[in-house]
């Protein structure tokens, strides 16, 4: 059982903690502050200018990526391009060989012959029907057969194009291999095809991407993202121009509790590359008029799961809760609901906190 005196102490501590959460006055005279090493500085000199620096990764938009697959079961005879290389539309990426490629060309030739025969039959039956020799039903059946033959030929012709094969001539020999070509100008993001590899139909061989424009996926804490809005400017160090924030995710990441922001870089330059990790500067549009300040890291203290600064007032200091927008080893960018003419303590923070929590008093 907890002794009565211990209960009183616990109750007093709880009441004190509740009281400390309020903006109460820490009574300290100027003489006491000087002896305790407490110094204050003007908040106006700490106005936050410039953007918030955040980690990010350069990615290719999904709508600008295309996967090149094997059209038929075959063997990769040769690979002409590698990961990270730039390709032009129509450039050969790889060459495939295999019996299914020969079979496809044979099936196309057969479908072409059937289509030609169906056209001849239709012309003959149309003539016979005009002379009253055959009934309407036979002509309709002949027309249906011609349409089916034309569709089968179109199917085989499309299959040849997908396989990278040309339509064989009436007397031409069948091609033993097929070239896989780039469908557009871009960059090889992935190259999984290897010479000698046997692949099935629809096996991914290459992943190509158009690298203009690019996306920058930005990682921010909820506090940092609170001051950012769609349309804010994003600058990438080393790049000639920046982009704009286009998306702010409505939910936090389940793994690290961060928010994802997206910016679009509407240019193609060598300053960034897909999958590259970078640091970006996000410039909130309202930075000039907001209560954002960049204060020394030592000017802040933490208590009751919140961050506090001590504002100088007549008769001492007053603790004020602040919102940390950005942190570094030297300084922190914070939002503070105080007037720009205020002064905050930048030295002797431990002493002020001790007096605030009732752990001691300023030197008399």
Give residue 193's Cα distance to chain centre: 27
Dig out the tokens for 94 from the structure: 């790889």
The label of the residue with tokens 């005879």 reads: 77
Residue 12 vs residue 199, higher pLDDT: 199
Q: What is the pLDDT of residues 72-119, one digit of tens each?
A: 899 999 999 998 898 999 999 999 998 888 888 888 889 999 999 999
Whole-angstrom Cα Rg for the chain: 37
Output the CA torsion 344→350→353→358 (10° steps). -150
Rounded average pLDDT over 304-310? 91
Computed over every residue of the chain, the mean pLDDT equals 84
Which domains are present in the chain? Answer: 23-51+289-356 (2.40.420), 52-60+211-283 (2.40.30.170), 64-97+180-210 (2.40.50.100), 99-175 (1.10.287.470)
Q: How far apart are CA 292 and CA 82, in angstroms?
A: 48
| Confidence band for 267, pLDDT divided at 50, 70 and 90 | low
Alpha-carbon dihedral sign for residues 84, 90, 95, 101 = positive
| Confidence band for 269, pLDDT divided at 50, 70 and 90 | low
- Decide if pLDDT at 242 tops 70: yes
Q: What is the pLDDT of residues 317-344, one digit of tens each?
A: 999 999 887 777 778 888 888 888 899 9
Q: What is the pLDDT, as a whole number, of residue 9?
A: 35
Return the percentage of the chain with pLDDT > 70, whole number: 87
Q: What is the pLDDT, as a whole number, of residue 64?
A: 92
Q: What is the pLDDT, as a whole number, of residue 13?
A: 39
SS (H, E, C) the chain: CCCHHHHHHHHHHHHHHHHHCCCCCEECCHHHHHHCCCEEEEHHHHECCCCEEEEEEEECCHHHEEEEECCCCEEEEEECCCCCCEECCCCEEEEEECHHHHHHHHHHHHHHHHHHHHHHHHHHHHHHHHCCCCCHHHHHHHHHHHHHHHHHHHHHHHHHHHHCCCCCCCCCCCCCEEEEECCCCEEEEEECCCCCCEECCCCEEEEEECCCCEEEEEEECHHHHCCCCCCCEEECCCCCCCEEEEEEEEEECCCCCCEEEEEEECCCCCCCCCCCEEEEEEECCCHHHCCEEEEEHHHCEEECCEEEEEEEECCEEEEEEEEEEEECCCEEEEECCCCCCCEEEEECHHHHHHHHCCCCCCCC
Spell out the residues 6+ positions from residue 268 whose beta carbon is closer than 8 angstroms to its own. Answer: 211, 212, 213, 214
Q: Parallel, antiparallel, or unpaired for β 306-313 and 74-79?
A: unpaired
- Decide if pLDDT at 3 tops 80: no
Q: Which of these, 252, 265, 259, lies nearest to 229 by C-alpha position?
A: 259
Q: How far apart are CA 169 and CA 175, in angstroms?
A: 11
Q: What is the pLDDT, as a whole number, of residue 207?
A: 95
The label of the residue with tokens 């079979």 reads: 103
| Confidence band for 41, pLDDT divided at 50, 70 and 90 | very high
The least confident of 171-180, 213-222, 232-241, 242-251 is: 171-180
Rounded average pLDDT over 148-165? 88
Cβ count within 10 A of residue 269:
14
- Decide if pLDDT at 15 tops 60: no
Ranked by mean pLDDT, the top range of 204-208, 272-276, 292-296 is: 204-208
């Amino acid at each position: 059982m907890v002794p009565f005196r211990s209960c009183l102490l616990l109750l007093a501590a709880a009441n004190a903690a509740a009281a400390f959460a309020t903006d109460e006055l820490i009574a300290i005279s100027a003489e006491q502050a000087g002896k305790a090493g407490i110094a204050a500085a003007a908040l106006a000199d700490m106005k936050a200018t410039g953007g918030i620096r955040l980690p990010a990764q350069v990615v290719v938009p999904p709508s600008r990526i295309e996967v090149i697959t094997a059209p038929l079961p075959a063997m990769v005879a040769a690979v002409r391009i590698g990961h990270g290389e730039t390709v032009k539309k129509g450039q050969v990426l790889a060459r495939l060989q295999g019996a299914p490629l020969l079979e496809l060309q044979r099936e196309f030739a057969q479908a072409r012959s059937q289509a030609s025969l169906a056209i001849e039959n239709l012309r003959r039956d149309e003539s016979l029907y005009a002379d009253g020799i055959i009934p309407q039903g036979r002509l309709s059946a002949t027309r249906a057969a011609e349409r089916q033959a034309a569709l089968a030929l179109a199917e085989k012709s499309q299959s040849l194009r997908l396989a990278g094969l040309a339509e064989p001539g009436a007397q031409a020999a069948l091609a033993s291999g097929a070239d896989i070509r780039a469908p557009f100008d871009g960059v090889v993001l992935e190259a999984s095809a290897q010479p000698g590899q046997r692949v099935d139909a629809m096996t991914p061989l290459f992943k190509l991407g158009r690298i203009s424009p690019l996306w920058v996926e930005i990682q921010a804490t909820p506090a940092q993202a609170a001051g950012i809005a769609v349309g804010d400017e994003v600058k990438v160090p080393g790049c000639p121009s920046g982009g704009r924030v286009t998306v702010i995710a409505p939910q936090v990441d389940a793994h690290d509790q961060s928010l994802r922001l997206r910016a679009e870089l509407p240019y193609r330059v060598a300053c960034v590359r897909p999958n590259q990790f970078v640091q970006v500067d996000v410039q909130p549009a309202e930075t000039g008029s907001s209560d954002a300040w960049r204060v020394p890291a030592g000017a802040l203290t933490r208590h009751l799961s919140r961050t506090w600064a001590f504002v100088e007032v007549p008769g001492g200091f007053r603790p004020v809760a602040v919102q940390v927008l950005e942190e570094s080893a030297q300084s922190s960018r914070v939002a503070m609901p105080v007037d720009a003419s205020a002064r905050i303590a930048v030295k002797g923070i431990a002493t002020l906190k001790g007096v605030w929590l009732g752990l001691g008093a300023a030197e008399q």
